[in-house]
């Protein structure tokens, strides 16, 4: 249409005017909404509970050590430092000149982009638009320079090096241009396309999260209305057959006419909830085990409040592990059981088994450890949080609260994968105004639990910092136990990219156990996906090796055989061989409530 067609009073001109008026009205409404939300946000932030400063970041000595090491490097090896600077400035100026030359030609485009590719910069504008491309390239060059400088600090001890590298990476990731509205093309494009409504919705999401977490900013990862435990999650039929102040014991309803004689008891971690093993029927480890013909019991731990402040690891062993084992034997009439421990549940199962051996109790026939660390001489990535600056702060905070709040643990584990679990969800929620996805795994991830104050300190001091189990110094009921005291047949499953219980540490833990019958399996993927890996998905493979579990873990892996598909069937064969003959299936009796029970849905005050 030409300008001549737009005569005054024409339908086209009237429509344009009406559209402009509508957009102006929407803008006014959005501004009013923003003002209202800003007031709510300010009010919500005032409810933030003051926490020990040590929980907000490492002590200043981390930065002092880094600065001292860099100065020492300058003094001892000035040529390397100069090389770093020349390399950095050379790349920076080269890119600047290329960008200028491209614009000087009158072309509104970016210079050739050599990469590397980074999924944070998926929007095509990062490669084609001169402004966004310049930001991206400069950020990547700066990141490379900082990382290289830290990597080449030879004066830092290994523990300090790991901490400096980790916290440097946190700063680098936090400063990515994608994390800021003015330099995020996805957010800007959507704001324009929606007349700012995406920003209003993002602010609504931000206010919701701050209000819902008592003044703390915790990004909602999944749609909280999409799932309900017991209705569309944790639906495998079963009954709560025992309850005390520490746990509910669930017996699952058999799906086969015959079951193996020796029952199986699973101890999940109490750092989070057991239904990670029973999200949906198609990926439920619990349902799959029942379908293989095992009598299955699973512990559902209490979510403690401040009244559990004095609860210790001994209490978890006495009133949790030993009591659940006794109840399974009583209910089934069997003198022996098989047991599984997952993560900290595996660590504490190991302590329990060592205690039972020293007490002359052979009631556990065989044990399985999922992603379990018992030797903490090398704790892996989580080791950056195990120095006194953090642990002292945790101890002070728990003395005040009676618990280690789920908030602190969730934040700690999220920062181990900050781009995936903090920044990317925050961008989608707060900048793009998107609703969180209906994703069962992320829903579970946000359904955290507290830890009793004394138990948390017992674990962090005695096991993690002092490495007491591996050294034979950690005491159960007043008597020291060691890894060598674990004598029964055992199978351990570790995960290749586990950032919580790294597989080499799991291997070294099993290597030191005193059993003559040890099997080690290494699954692909991480702490959750490597374990919750149903055969029907045919997604992640695994490694096995018939050689003894000894020597360096790298040598074991080098000689191992890779198998496509899940490790579940391999473990099932191992377990079946140690579970006795088939007998008539056992039905749960004396039900206190239907599975998944009441403890898993309880919401104690933090």
Among 55, 415, 499, 420, smallest CA distance to 221 is for: 420
Among 400, 379, 411, 369, smallest CA distance to 549 is for: 369
Can you tell me the distance from the alpha carbon of 567 to that of 542, in angstroms, rounded to the nearest whole number?
A: 6
* Structure token digits, residue 100: 């200028």
CB 80 within 8 A of CB 88: no
The catalytic site residues sit at 343
Phi first, then psi: give them for residue 259, nearest 5 degrees: -135, 160
Can you tell me the distance from the alpha carbon of 56 to that of 51, in angstroms, rounded to the nearest whole number?
A: 8
Among 415, 571, 436, 562, smallest CA distance to 493 is for: 571
Side-chain-side CA neighbours of residue 40 (13 Å)? 16
Q: Please count the helices (runs of H) and the strands (runs of E) in the chain.
A: 21, 17
**Rg value, the chain, Cα:** 28
Long-range contacts from 506-510, C-beta under 8 angstroms, 24+ separation:
506/369, 506/371, 506/372, 506/373, 507/549, 507/553, 507/556, 508/375, 508/377, 508/378, 508/553, 509/350, 509/369, 509/372, 509/373, 509/374, 509/375, 509/470, 509/483, 510/369, 510/549
Angle at 498 between CA 157 and CA 487, to 5 degrees: 90
351 Cα distance to chain centroid:
24
Q: How far apart are the first and last CA of the chain?
A: 65
């Amino acid at each position: 249409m030409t300008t001549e067609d737009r005569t005054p009073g024409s339908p086209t001109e009237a429509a344009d005017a009406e559209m402009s008026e509508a957009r102006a009205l929407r803008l006014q409404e959005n501004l009013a909404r923003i003002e209202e939300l800003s007031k709510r946000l300010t009010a919500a932030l005032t409810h933030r509970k003051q926490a020990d400063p040590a929980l907000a970041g490492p002590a200043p000595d981390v930065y002092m050590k880094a600065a001292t090491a860099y100065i020492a490097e300058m003094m001892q090896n000035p040529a390397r430092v100069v090389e770093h600077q020349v390399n950095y400035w050379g790349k920076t100026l080269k890119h600047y000149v290329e960008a200028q030359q491209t614009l000087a030609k009158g072309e509104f485009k970016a210079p050739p982009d050599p990469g590397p590719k980074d999924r944070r910069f998926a929007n095509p504008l990062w490669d084609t638009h001169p402004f966004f491309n310049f930001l991206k390239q400069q950020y990547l060059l700066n990141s490379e320079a900082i990382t290289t400088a830290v990597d080449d600090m030879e004066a830092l001890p290994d523990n300090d090096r790991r901490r400096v590298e980790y916290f440097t990476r946190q700063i680098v990731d936090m400063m990515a241009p994608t994390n800021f509205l003015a330099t995020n093309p996805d957010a800007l494009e959507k704001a324009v396309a929606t007349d700012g409504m995406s920003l209003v919705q993002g602010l609504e999401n931000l206010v919701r999260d701050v209000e819902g977490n008592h003044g703390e900013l915790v990004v909602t990862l999944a749609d909280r209305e999409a799932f309900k435990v017991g209705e569309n999650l944790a639906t495998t039929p079963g009954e709560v057959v025992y309850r005390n102040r520490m746990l509910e014991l669930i017996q699952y309803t058999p799906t086969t006419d015959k079951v193996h004689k020796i029952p199986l008891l699973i101890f999940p971690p109490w750092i989070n909830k057991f239904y990670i093993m029973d999200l949906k029927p198609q990926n439920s480890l619990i349902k799959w085990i029942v379908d293989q013909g095992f009598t299955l019991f699973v512990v559902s731990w209490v979510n403690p409040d401040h009244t559990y402040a004095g609860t210790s690891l001994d209490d978890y062993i006495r009133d949790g592990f030993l009591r659940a084992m006794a109840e399974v034997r009583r209910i089934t009439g069997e003198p022996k059981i098989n047991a599984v421990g997952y993560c900290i549940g595996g660590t504490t199962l190991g302590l329990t088994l060592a205690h039972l051996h020293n007490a002359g109790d052979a009631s556990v026939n065989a044990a399985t450890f999922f992603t379990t660390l018992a030797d903490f001489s090398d704790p892996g990535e989580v080791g950056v949080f195990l120095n006194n600056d953090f642990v002292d702060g945790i101890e002070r905070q728990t003395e005040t609260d009676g618990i280690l709040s789920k908030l602190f643990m969730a934040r700690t584990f999220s920062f181990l994968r900050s781009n995936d679990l903090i920044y990317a969800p925050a961008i989608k929620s707060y900048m793009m105004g998107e609703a969180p996805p209906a994703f069962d795994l992320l829903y579970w991830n946000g359904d955290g639990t507290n830890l009793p104050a004394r138990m948390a300190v017992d674990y962090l001091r005695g096991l993690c910092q002092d490495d007491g189990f591996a050294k034979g110094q950690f005491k159960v009921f007043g008597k020291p136990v060691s890894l060598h005291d674990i004598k029964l047949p055992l199978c351990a499953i570790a995960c290749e990219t586990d950032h919580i219980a790294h597989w080499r540490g799991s291997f070294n833990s099993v290597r030191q156990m005193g059993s003559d019958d040890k099997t080690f399996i290494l699954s692909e993927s991480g702490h959750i996906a490597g374990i919750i890996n149903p055969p029907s998905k045919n997604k992640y493979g695994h490694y096995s090796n018939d050689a003894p579990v000894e020597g360096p873990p790298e040598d074991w892996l080098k000689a191992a055989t890779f198998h496509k598909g899940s490790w579940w069937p391999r473990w099932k064969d191992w377990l079946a061989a140690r579970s006795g003959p088939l007998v008539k299936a056992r039905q749960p009796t004396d039900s206190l409530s239907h599975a998944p029970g009441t403890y898993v849905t309880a919401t104690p005050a933090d």
